[in-house]
């Protein structure tokens, strides 16, 4: 389902191209670099996050994606290590895999995973690892689809994006970094979503770890 390569761009400090089902994004991280005066934070790393849509120009939809990514990335970064510096994170959506006017969940989950890998690739200090999945509930029997296909997404009654902060080798959930749900659902089904989302996040995290493992093996091939 998920495939990713890191280090695909050579002009930036870290990069990642990630494909998750029908959605694919490319993400670059530049930093730590010198910020503009208005971005500078006296004791912490400042973040500049840009999301570009797969077609057309960015709008409020991309602004909200940027805000959501910021909410997930900020707590996992060791920001105190880079006072008065800046990291630029740029995501370009290559394939949306969903009707853009109505949905953004699949793009969001792909972006968050890609940003995480690109941050690792850039060597910026992280406090924890994160993984993200998109879920949809379809049909009368409330079947939960993990990383739903476009057809399932359109049929769904509610969509959820779950990003978890994971520790202990991606085996322990430390916090819910983001849960954003739209549609019609009840408490019961949301708790179901949290439950199966947790499993899916751990699986995704293992995939992401494999990518990182592979990268490290490649990086130290001369040893």
Partner 1 sequence: MNISDRRRILGPSNAKLLTFDKSGPVEIEPISSSSVPNSTSMYIENGLICNANGSSYLEVTGSTSEADRTLMLTSVYGPRPSRGAFNAKATLSVQFKEVTLEKIPAGELKELCNFLSNVFNAVINLERYPKSGIDVFLSLIHSSNGSQLYELESIISTCVNGITLALIDAGIEIFDTVSAGIYEKHIVAFVKNGTEIVGFWKGKDSASESEDILSIIEQCKLDYLKNRKAMVEYLVRCNDKEDHLQHEVTKQ
Partner 2 sequence: MKEAIEIQPMTFHPEVLARIAPDLSMQRHLSLGLRPSLRALEEFRNVEISDGQLSCGSQNSVNRTGNNILGSNVLKSGKTMVITSITGGVVEENMSVHNPDEEESPELEQAVGAGGVEDHGCVYPVVEVERGRVGAPTDEEMNLSQRIYNSVLHTGLISKKALEVSVGVRSTNSDGQSSVLYPDADPSNALAQNFKPRRKWSYVLYAKIQVFSRDGPLFELCWNSLLYALANTQLPRAFVDERTTDLKIPVSMRGRSAAIRETFDILCDPNEFQPLMLSKDRLAFASNFAVVDIDPEAQLPKDDDDMQVDSPKSVLLADIQGEAEEASVFSTLSAVTDAKGNLKHFKAVGGGSKITMEMIKRSIALAKLRASDLNKKL
Place of tokens 């406090």: 127
Task: Report the DSSP beta bridge partners of residue 129.
Answer: 166
CA atoms within 13 A on the CB side of 81: 12
Nearer to partner 2, 7 or 61 (CB): 61
Nearer to partner 2, 15 or 35 (CB): 35
Nearer to partner 1, 3 or 59 (CB): 59
Q: How many Å apart are CA 94 and CA 107, to the nearest integer?
A: 10
Inter-residue contact 51 to 64 (CB < 8 Å): no
**Cβ at position 193, least distance to partner 2 in Å:** 10
Q: How many Å apart are CA 194 and CA 186, to the nearest integer?
A: 12
Which residue ranges make up the site for partner 2 (CB under 8 A)? 60-61, 63-64, 66-67, 71, 74-75, 102, 104, 154-159, 165, 174-187, 190-191, 194
Pick what 186 binds: partner 2, partner 1, none; C-beta below 5 to 8 Å, kind-dependent: partner 2
For residue 181, CA distances in Å to 73, 105, 134, 192, 211 come to: 19, 9, 10, 13, 29
Nearer to partner 2, 92 or 157 (CB): 157
State yes or no: cis peptide before 32, omega within 30 of 0: yes
**Cβ at position 63, least distance to partner 1 in Å:** 8
**Cβ at position 134, least distance to partner 1 in Å:** 22
Residue of the chain from 56, 99, 139, 183 that contacts partner 1 (CB under 8 A): 56
Pick what 58 binds: partner 2, partner 1, none; C-beta below 5 to 8 Å, kind-dependent: partner 1
Place of tokens 């990335």: 73
**If DSSP states are collapsed to H, E and C, what string results for 90-109?**
EEEEEECCCCCCCCCHHHHH
Tokens at 116, concatenated: 């995480």
**Cβ at position 223, least distance to partner 2 in Å:** 38
**Cβ at position 148, least distance to partner 2 in Å:** 13
Nearer to partner 2, 78 or 216 (CB): 78
Q: Give the footprint of partner 1 on this chain (CB under 8 A).
A: 56-60, 63, 101
């Amino acid at each position: 389902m998920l495939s990713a390569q890191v280090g695909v761009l050579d002009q930036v400090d870290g990069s990642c191209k990630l494909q998750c089902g029908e959605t694919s994004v490319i993400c670059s991280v530049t930093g730590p670099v010198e910020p503009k005066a208005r971005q500078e934070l006296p004791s912490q790393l400042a973040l500049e996050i840009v999301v570009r849509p797969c077609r057309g120009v960015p709008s409020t939809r991309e602004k909200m994606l940027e805000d959501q990514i910021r909410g997930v990335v900020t707590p996992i970064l060791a920001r105190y290590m880079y006072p008065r510096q800046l990291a630029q994170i740029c995501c370009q959506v290559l394939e949306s895999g969903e009707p853009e006017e109505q949905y953004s969940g699949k793009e969001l989950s792909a972006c968050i995973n890609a940003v995480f890998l690109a941050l690792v690739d850039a060597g910026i200090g992280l406090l924890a690892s994160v993984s993200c999945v998109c879920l949809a509930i379809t049909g009368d029997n409330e079947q939960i689809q993990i990383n739903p296909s476009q057809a399932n997404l359109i049929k769904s009654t509610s969509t959820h994006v779950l990003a978890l902060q994971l520790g202990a080798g991606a085996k322990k959930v430390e916090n819910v970094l983001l849960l954003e749900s739209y549609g019609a659902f009840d408490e019961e089904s949301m708790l179901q979503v949290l439950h199966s989302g947790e499993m899916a996040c751990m699986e995704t995290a293992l995939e992401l770890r494999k990518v990182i493992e592979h990268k490290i093996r490649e990086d130290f091939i001369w040893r």
